[in-house]
């Protein structure tokens, strides 16, 4: 098949790569598709699935039956039960790790039997959600009163992180690095030389979005800031932009009584 390129679509003279170079560069890109901490969680989920298959003499190749058996085995295990919400995340990690070997693994994950088994386990074994109370302005005032006169670096750093995270609607992962060294990614670290001072505040550049499907950071900070902005009448679209939410899920961070939420949604 021949293609005719227009005169205005000339390409720069790039040198061709060897097949080995192409494979090497692709492997690096594929390896960076998910974060190191996410990869650890996915690997843990895969280990759980492999162990399940080994003790039951099942093949590793996924089928709707094997996935549905795996779900009920985790959710109603006599030794340690896993919450169905976590099992759903396990399945996501297993699919991510196995899709290079089994092209249909995600279709199997979405099979009617698998979805119905997971839905049934949610009804039978789900635990009530326990949320931390969101931080409020009065909580911040207590922290400022307690730490503002101290000269210890760690105390002042904690206060700066607390206030920055609250007013900036930041996740914990956007304020500090993980404790586990292998999960630390320097490309995510906010550089001090990116800080800019303004007449009424300061700002800095976040290198990239650090949201993790398995961990969203300290929601008490994030929800406290969102609730505080809502209470003083900031429009919802500005709260969403400040927190860098891509969807309407930011509503779950505004934690007040139903009447308060209704008034916000109708404003």
Domain boundaries along the sequence of the chain = 28-125, 137-264
Topology (CATH) of 28-125: DNA polymerase; domain 1 (1.10.150)
Distance CA 267, CA 252 (A): 17
Q: Provide the pLDDT for residue 219.
A: 46
Q: Provide the pLDDT for residue 68.
A: 95
Q: Provide the pLDDT for residue 111.
A: 95
Task: Name the 3-class secondary structure at 212.
Answer: strand
Measured at the alpha carbon of residue 194, what is the angle toward residues 190 and 197, in degrees to the nearest 5?
Answer: 125
Distance CA 102, CA 46 (A): 14
Q: Provide the pLDDT for residue 221.
A: 46
Q: What is the mean pLDDT of each run of 10 residues along the chain (267 residues)?
A: 66 84 83 75 90 94 95 90 90 90 93 95 84 78 89 90 83 79 75 83 71 42 60 70 64 54 54
Q: Provide the pLDDT for residue 180.
A: 77
Distance CA 205, CA 192 (A): 9
User: 175-196: per-residue pLDDT in tens?
Assistant: 887 787 777 777 777 888 888 8
Q: Provide the pLDDT for residue 218.
A: 45
CATH class of 137-264: mainly alpha
Residue whose structure tokens are 């992962």: 173
Q: 28-125 with 137-264: one CATH topology? A: no
Q: Provide the pLDDT for residue 208.
A: 62
Q: Provide the pLDDT for residue 46.
A: 92
Query: Using an 8 Å Cβ cutoff, are 93 and 45 in contact?
Result: yes
């Amino acid at each position: 098949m021949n293609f005719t390129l227009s005169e205005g679509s000339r390409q720069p003279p790039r040198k061709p790569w060897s097949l080995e170079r192409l494979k090497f560069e692709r492997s690096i890109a594929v390896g960076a598709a998910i974060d190191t901490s996410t990869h650890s969680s996915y690997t843990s989920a895969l280990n759980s699935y492999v162990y399940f298959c080994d003790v039951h003499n099942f093949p590793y190749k996924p089928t709707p039956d094997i996935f549905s058996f795996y779900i009920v085995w985790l959710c109603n295990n006599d030794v340690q039960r896993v919450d169905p919400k976590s099992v759903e995340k396990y399945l996501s990690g297993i699919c991510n790790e196995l899709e290079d070997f089994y092209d249909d693994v995600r279709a199997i994950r979405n099979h009617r039997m698998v979805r119905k088994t997971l839905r049934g386990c949610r009804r039978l074994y789900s635990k009530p959600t326990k949320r931390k109370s969101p931080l409020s302005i009065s909580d911040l005032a207590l922290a400022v009163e307690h730490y503002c006169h101290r000269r210890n670096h760690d105390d002042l750093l904690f206060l700066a992180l607390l206030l920055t995270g609250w007013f900036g609607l930041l996740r914990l992962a956007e304020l500090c690095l993980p404790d586990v060294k292998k999960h630390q990614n320097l490309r995510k670290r906010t550089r001090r030389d990116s800080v800019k001072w303004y007449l009424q505040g300061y700002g800095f550049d976040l290198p990239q979005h650090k949201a993790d499907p398995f961990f969203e950071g300290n929601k008490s900070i994030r929800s406290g800031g969102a609730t505080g902005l809502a209470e003083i009448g900031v429009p919802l679209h500005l709260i969403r932009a400040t927190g860098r939410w891509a969807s309407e899920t930011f509503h779950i961070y505004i934690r007040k009584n139903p009447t308060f939420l209704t008034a916000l949604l109708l404003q």
